[in-house]
Structure 1
C-alpha cells in the first residue's frame, strides 16, 4: 500500500504507512505541527514516531527548526528521556523515532488519580532533578517542562518533548515579541527576558510541576494566561497542600531570580537529606479491570498509554500519548500546548531569528588586514549574557577551549593494546614517578590543573593550590571568596590568576607562596581572558580593558572594531609571544576573526573567513578552527588559516560530530565528539589520519605529545591513544566520586609536561603517570 499523501486536518487523514523503515500502526496523539504514531521496527521493537504535517514540511525555516530539535533530542537521549532511535529531517515528511515508553503522563496520572502520595512526590522530584542534570550537562535547556511532558514509567519519570528546547550554544533564537512555553510552568525570565532563558528556567518549571503533582493545580492558577503571566512574575506561589518536608525546596525552585534557584545536583543532595525514606513503589498502579493501554501493555492507565519524545521543534505542545482521549495539555486549567503569552491557546513551536549563520562552504575567501601570526594552546572561557555575545564564537556566546562541553554517561569497553619497548626506553621511563593524591578534603568537584612556575597549579571549588610535580606534595593553598570557574589557573605576569564565576575581585597570587601580591575590585565586566601577561576584561558595553597581570593596573581600554561584545581566546606560543583572538559569527555565513596584541589592544590582523568558526588552537603561524553547522549543532569541518599568507584550508569531517572539542599539536587537530569519537585530522595532508570509537561518551578536550593523545573520562580514567595509528594503548583505573549523584560540569584537560601526564578525577584525586609508557597504567 502506498503512503497516503493527503493533508487533511485529522490525524487519520495523513497517516502514511511507513516512516523510513518503521511501519506506523496507530496514532498516539496529534498536535498542531505533527502526529505521533505507534510504530514497529523490522525486528518488532515498538517505537513512537513523530511525522511532521505536510504543510510544515514545505517550509524551509521549519525544517531548520526540526533539525535543531532532532539534534537536541539526540544530545539528551539517556536514562531519563525517551532515547532517539532514528530520524530523517530531510525526508519529504520529516520524522523522528524514539523508544516507546509504556506509562501515563503526570498530567493523566493526576487527572485520573488525584495528587500523589508524599513518597511518590519525593521520588518524582529526585527523578526530575536527575533528568534535568543530564539535559543541562549536554548544554540543552528544555524550556517547556510541564506535567504532560513527564512520562511516569515503571523505572522512574522520563522527560519528553524537546520541541522548543534549545542548546545553549544554538543560533536559533526567539523572535522579538514572541514567548515560547506554557504559562503556568514558565519562569519569570521567560516572560521578561526570553532571549536569556537558561537552565534555571527548567528548575522553576520543576517546582511548578511538583506543586501540580502534589495538589492537582499549579502554584499560579487562573483561567487567563495573561493573569498567570502576571502572577509568575510578581506574586508568591501558593504551596498549600505541598508536603511540609518538600515545600521549602519547592519554594526555592520557584524563586523569581534564576541565581536564587538550586541546581539539579543541589536538589538531589537536599532530597537525600529529607528524613522520610524514599517510596520505592512504581508510579504506575495496577491496571483497571478489562482495559489495556496501547498495544496491550499491562500496567498502564486506560487511554493513557505511552508518550515518547515527539517534539519536532515542530510541535511544542503536541501530546503523543497513546490511547483514546489523551489530549494535549492535560494539566489543570490549561488545555493549550506551548502558549505564547500574547495569544492564549495557540501552540507555539521554536522560533528562529535570521541571525543564524548559514552553512559554510568549502574553499576559502578571506579579507585580511595586516599580516601577522598566531599563537598555541588555550586558556579560553565560556560565558556571555548579552544577545550580541550569543552570536560570537559560532553562536556559543563564549568559547570553552580547555574545560569542555559535557556529554553523556561513561563506560568504556574494549581491550588495551600493547606495543614493544626496548630496554633503553624502559629505563628512561622508569625515571618518571607516578603518584596520586587527594589534596583537599573540604572541596567539591574535579580539580582543574595547569603547569607553571615549576608547579602543578590547580583550581577546585573555592581553592587555588600548588602541588609538587615530582610527588604531589601540597605546597600551598589559597581560598577565594567566590566559586572558581571550571578552568585551570594560569600564570600572567609571573603570578597565578584566580578567575571566579561571578566576575568578582581580581587578584594575582605569588606562585611560591600562594599569597596575594595585588587585589582589585573591578568595574563591571562580563568576561575575562588571560592572554600572556595581561587580563582582558570585556564589559557589558563591549569595551575591552587590558589589566597588567603583574600589577593589576589598567594598561588600555578600547573597543574592537567589528565585535560588538568580543570574547577572547588566547594561545601561548613557544616563542613567548601571544595573541588574543575574538571571533564573531556574521549573518552572511562568515566569521570575523581579529587578533589583538594583549599588551596594547592594537589589532594585529583581521579576517573575514567563510563558515561559522570557533578557534581551537594555533601552531606554526596558523590558527585552527572547528566549523559548525548552526542548524544542527554539529561540527562538520576543521579549518586552518595562515594570516601571513592569507591561506585558508578546510578539511571536512567524514561525519558531522555533535559536542565536538579539539586541540592542536603541530599541524594535526585532535577532535573528540560526544559518544567518544576521537579523530586526528592532518591539515597539511588535508585528510583524516585515523578515527577511533573510544566508547567514552563524555570526555575532556584532548591533549597530545608526539607519541600519544590523552583524554580524561568522566569516571576519572585517563586514556592514551597512539598519535600515529589511533590505537588505544593504555588507561588508568576509574576514580569515581563517593557520591553517585555528583556529575562534573566540566572535565579537566590532561596536562602533558616533560614526559609526565597529570590528570584529575571526580573523587578529587590529582594523579601523575608516565606519559611515555601508557601500557603499564592499568597494572
Structure 2
C-alpha cells in the first residue's frame, strides 16, 4: 500500500514511504513531535513507527528530546509498554519503531463506550500500578500519563509515549515558565516545582486517569488550562461517580504532597484487598482503530537520558521513603520522633575497625543519603537528619526536619550541619555535637541551593543568586551572575585553595558550553570560559576543572576534558566507546565514569588516554568514588563494589540489602562515603553499613 497523505493545516505535506527498512502503510495518528504510522518490516512484522515532524527534524532541541525518548523507551520496554524494535534518532527524519499493539487507547474506549464498570476499573488500576512500578524501577518518570497514552491490549494496559519522560536523577531542566505535560493529569509539583518532578507525580496522574476512566471527566475540570492548574494545586478533587471501592485509594493518589501518595506496590497490595479474588481477565477492548487520535497516538515508548554527570541532582522528595536509622545506645532526640534501633552486631577486623550495620525500624525502607563531617556520618531521612558514630554505627542524635526532603545528604558548612539544602522551606543550621538548632530563618522561594566555602548559594527561578553565611545565617550578597541565566552550581569536596562554585550554560545547538567560576563569598566571577561541546563539570583538583562531554541531553559521555583556567590549557580525551548515561567522580588526575549499563571506566588525564574499562554488570550504579587504591560503587540492590583502581579488576563486594521495602525505588543512588580508610554506604532496606576500605576481597 502506498503511504497515505495527511490532510490538514498541521499535517505533513507528504509522508515518507519508508523509515529504515519499514514500509509505512497508513497513519495511526499525529502527536506533538511526530506522526505515528502502521508499518511492516521486510519479514511482515507489524510495527508502529514514529517519524519526527519535518519542521522539527533540524531543531537540535527536538532532536535531543527524541534521543531521550528512544533511550527511555528502550529502558522501559517490557510487559507494560510497547517494546522498541528499532530506531534511528540521527537520520534526516528521525524515527523509532515499536511493536504494534492492537487495541484502543483508554481515551477512545471511554469516548466510545462510556466509563468503565468497577471491576474493569480495578483491573485497569492494578495493571497501571504494575506498569508504573516497572517503569520507576528502571529509573524513569513518565510525566505525561493520561488516557490517550494508555493502550488497552488483550493482555492488559500498555503505557506509551515517553516523549517528555526523564530519569529521576536527571537534571534536564524545564524551561522557566513552560509547562511540560497535560494540565488535567499533572501533579501539583509539576506546576509549582517542575524541576523536582519524580515518580510520585505519575501516581497523581494515575489518580486523575482513574477518575476519567470511571466518570468520563477529570477530578479537576475546566475549559481553561490555567483554571485547571489552580484547581490541581489548591482545590480538592471531585470524585463524584468514582466507585466506592476505589474512591479512597484514588483520593490518596491525588494527595497534594508527593510524600502522602502511595507507591505503585502499595497500590497493588491495596487493590488485591479490594477484591476477594484478584481477577486478571482482560479489559474488553475492541479491535484498535486506525483513526487519528487526540494529541498522542500509540507512540512508541521513549526515553530521557539519565544523566547525573555531576554532583547536582533534582528529584522529588515524595519518592524517597527512607527508613529511620538507629544505634546501640539511647538516642538524643531533637524533633520528637520514635527512636530507631540497631540490630546487627559489630564484627571486629584486623585493623581494629568494627564492621557494623545500622538498621531501619521494620516499617522502614529506602536508601539513606549520607555524608561525612565533624567526625560523624550525617544521614538524611524523610522528616529527620541523624548523626551516626562512624566507628560502630551508634546514633548520636536525631533532629526532626520539617518540609519535603529530597535526595541530597546533609553537609557541614561554616562549621555547622546544614540539613535544609535538599528541601523547600526555611533554612536552619545545627550544632554538629548535639543536633540542636543554632540558627533558623525564613528563606524566599528558591529553586536550587549549594554549600560552597562556608556559604550557601540560593538560586531563584528569575536567576537571582543569594549568598548566605552558613555559620550565622546572614545574607552577604544577592545579584545575578553575568552570562548565566539561571545558574545551578556544582562544587567539589577537597578542592584546594579557595573553593569555587561552577555554573554552566550550553549553547542552543550543543556545540559549546559557557563555564563560569564564582567566588561564593562575594558572588563575583573569578573566570569565565567558552569551551567546545555540551559539558558538565564533575570535579576540580590542583587548579584544574574536569568536565565530561555528552551528558544530560544526549545521554552518552563521549569525552573527558581538563581545563586549567590559569593558563587556558585544555586537554580532551575522547573515549573509545561512549559511556551511556554516565556519572563521574574525580581523584587526582583520573576521572572515573559509571555508565547506566554497568560500564566502569578510568580515564587518565595526565597520560591522555582511557586506562581501563570494566563491565560490572551493575545497571544504574551510583557515582563512583576513589581513594586512589580502589574505586567504590553502590549497586541498586544495596551491594558495595570494590575495584582495583590500577588494573580495573573487581576485588570484592558486599551482600545485597534489598529488604522488604525494595518496592521503593530511589531517585538517585547515594555514592559511597570515604572517611578514615573506611567506606560507608546506604542500602534499599534502610541500613547504613561500614566496612574497611583496604581489603574489598574480605567483604
TM-score (norm 2): 0.79
Alignment match, 1:494 = 415
Deviation (angstroms), 1:708? 1.8
Could you tell me how far apart the structure 2 residues matched to 1:675 and 1:278 are? 41
- Which of 267, 274, 297 is the aligned partner of 1:276? 274
Q: Does 759-768 or 632-641 show the bigger shift? A: 632-641
Deviation (angstroms), 1:672? 1.3
Q: How does 1:421-460 map to 2 (within 5 A)?
A: 430-438=351-359, 444-460=365-381
The alpha-carbon distance between structure 1 residues 484 and 124, as it changes in their structure 2 partners (threshold 3 A), is same
1:677 matched to 2:599: yes
Contact 1:180–1:338 (Cα < 8 Å) also in 2: no
Alignment match, 2:516 = 594
Contact 1:711–1:749 (Cα < 8 Å) also in 2: yes
Alignment match, 2:399 = 478
Deviation (angstroms), 1:462? 2.1
Could you tell me how far apart the structure 2 residues matched to 1:15 and 1:557 are? 54
1:337 matched to 2:291: no
Could you tell me how far apart the structure 1 residues matched to 2:257 and 2:52 are? 41
Q: How does 1:364-383 map to 2 (within 5 A)?
A: 380=312, 382=314
Q: Does 565-574 or 718-727 show the bigger shift? A: 565-574
Alignment match, 1:34 = 35
Could you tell me how far apart the structure 1 residues matched to 2:529 and 2:54 are? 41
SS at match of 2:390: coil
RCO comparison, higher one (Cα < 8 Å, 6+): 1
Which ranges in structure 1 are unaligned for 5 or more consecutive residues? 286-299, 305-324, 330-335, 340-346, 350-376, 385-426
Could you tell me how far apart the structure 1 residues matched to 2:607 and 2:185 are? 53
1:303 matched to 2:261: no
Could you tell me how far apart the structure 1 residues matched to 2:42 and 2:261 are? 35
Alignment match, 2:70 = 70
Contact 2:129–2:268 (Cα < 8 Å) also in 1: no
Alignment match, 1:734 = 656
Alignment match, 2:47 = 48
The alpha-carbon distance between structure 1 residues 239 and 559, as it changes in their structure 2 partners (threshold 3 A), is closer
Deviation (angstroms), 1:120? 4.1
The alpha-carbon distance between structure 1 residues 263 and 122, as it changes in their structure 2 partners (threshold 3 A), is farther
Q: How does 1:240-255 map to 2 (within 5 A)?
A: 240-251=240-251, 253=253
Alignment match, 1:528 = 449
The alpha-carbon distance between structure 1 residues 117 and 771, as it changes in their structure 2 partners (threshold 3 A), is farther
Contact 2:601–2:612 (Cα < 8 Å) also in 1: yes
SS at match of 1:210: helix
Deviation (angstroms), 1:764? 1.0
Q: How does 1:651-730 map to 2 (within 5 A)?
A: 651-730=573-652
The alpha-carbon distance between structure 1 residues 242 and 678, as it changes in their structure 2 partners (threshold 3 A), is same
Contact 2:72–2:165 (Cα < 8 Å) also in 1: yes
Deviation (angstroms), 1:67? 3.3
The alpha-carbon distance between structure 1 residues 560 and 383, as it changes in their structure 2 partners (threshold 3 A), is farther
Pairwise CA RMSD:
4.2
Deviation (angstroms), 1:736? 0.8
SS at match of 1:700: coil
1:149 matched to 2:149: yes
Could you tell me how far apart the structure 1 residues matched to 2:504 and 2:111 are? 51
Contact 2:417–2:429 (Cα < 8 Å) also in 1: yes
Q: Does 629-638 or 644-653 show the bigger shift? A: 629-638
Contact 2:633–2:672 (Cα < 8 Å) also in 1: yes
Alignment match, 1:398 = none
The alpha-carbon distance between structure 1 residues 566 and 65, as it changes in their structure 2 partners (threshold 3 A), is closer
Contact 2:174–2:180 (Cα < 8 Å) also in 1: no
Contact 1:207–1:250 (Cα < 8 Å) also in 2: yes
1:628 matched to 2:550: yes
SS at match of 1:685: coil
TM-score (norm 1): 0.72
Q: Does 132-141 or 577-586 show the bigger shift? A: 132-141
Could you tell me how far apart the structure 1 residues matched to 2:533 and 2:29 are? 38
Alignment match, 1:87 = 87
Deviation (angstroms), 1:241? 2.5
Q: Does 666-675 or 453-462 show the bigger shift? A: 453-462
The alpha-carbon distance between structure 1 residues 718 and 156, as it changes in their structure 2 partners (threshold 3 A), is farther
Contact 2:384–2:399 (Cα < 8 Å) also in 1: yes
1:565 matched to 2:486: yes
Deviation (angstroms), 1:76? 3.9
Contact 2:446–2:461 (Cα < 8 Å) also in 1: yes
The alpha-carbon distance between structure 1 residues 487 and 773, as it changes in their structure 2 partners (threshold 3 A), is same
1:762 matched to 2:684: yes
SS at match of 2:671: coil
Could you tell me how far apart the structure 1 residues matched to 2:387 and 2:193 are? 42
Deviations 1:652-710 (A, max 9, x none): 33344443211101111111122222211222222222222222222111111222211
1:584 matched to 2:505: yes
The alpha-carbon distance between structure 1 residues 280 and 15, as it changes in their structure 2 partners (threshold 3 A), is farther
Deviation (angstroms), 1:233? 5.1
Could you tell me how far apart the structure 1 residues matched to 2:381 and 2:601 are? 30
Deviation (angstroms), 1:182? 6.1
Deviations 1:488-540 (A, max 9, x none): 22222222221254432323222222222333333443322111322222344
Contact 2:263–2:664 (Cα < 8 Å) also in 1: no
SS at match of 1:578: coil
Alignment match, 2:387 = 466
SS at match of 2:576: strand
Could you tell me how far apart the structure 2 residues matched to 1:746 and 1:58 are? 32
Which ranges in structure 2 are unaligned for 5 or more consecutive residues? 301-308, 317-347
Could you tell me how far apart the structure 2 residues matched to 1:572 and 1:117 are? 57
Deviations 1:229-282 (A, max 9, x none): 756755876533211232244346557xxx546676546536634652475333
Could you tell me how far apart the structure 2 residues matched to 1:666 and 1:615 are? 15
SS at match of 1:157: strand
The alignment of Structure 1 onto Structure 2 pairs a total of residues equal to: 645
Could you tell me how far apart the structure 1 residues matched to 2:313 and 2:161 are? 31
SS at match of 1:213: helix
Q: Does 99-108 or 88-97 show the bigger shift? A: 99-108
Deviation (angstroms), 1:472? 1.6
Could you tell me how far apart the structure 1 residues matched to 2:400 and 2:182 are? 43
Could you tell me how far apart the structure 2 residues matched to 1:175 and 1:497 are? 30
The alpha-carbon distance between structure 1 residues 446 and 616, as it changes in their structure 2 partners (threshold 3 A), is same
The alpha-carbon distance between structure 1 residues 439 and 247, as it changes in their structure 2 partners (threshold 3 A), is closer
The alpha-carbon distance between structure 1 residues 216 and 683, as it changes in their structure 2 partners (threshold 3 A), is same
Could you tell me how far apart the structure 1 residues matched to 2:491 and 2:683 are? 26
Alignment match, 2:337 = none
Contact 2:48–2:299 (Cα < 8 Å) also in 1: no
Deviation (angstroms), 1:643? 1.0
SS at match of 1:572: coil
The alpha-carbon distance between structure 1 residues 264 and 677, as it changes in their structure 2 partners (threshold 3 A), is farther
State the structure with more CA Rg. Answer: 1
Contact 1:253–1:262 (Cα < 8 Å) also in 2: no
Could you tell me how far apart the structure 1 residues matched to 2:528 and 2:225 are? 49
Deviation (angstroms), 1:609? 2.2
The alpha-carbon distance between structure 1 residues 164 and 449, as it changes in their structure 2 partners (threshold 3 A), is closer
The alpha-carbon distance between structure 1 residues 189 and 597, as it changes in their structure 2 partners (threshold 3 A), is closer
Q: Does 105-114 or 675-684 show the bigger shift? A: 105-114
Contact 2:29–2:35 (Cα < 8 Å) also in 1: yes
Deviations 1:299-325 (A, max 9, x none): x85523xxxxxxxxxxxxxxxxxxxx3
Could you tell me how far apart the structure 1 residues matched to 2:276 and 2:606 are? 59
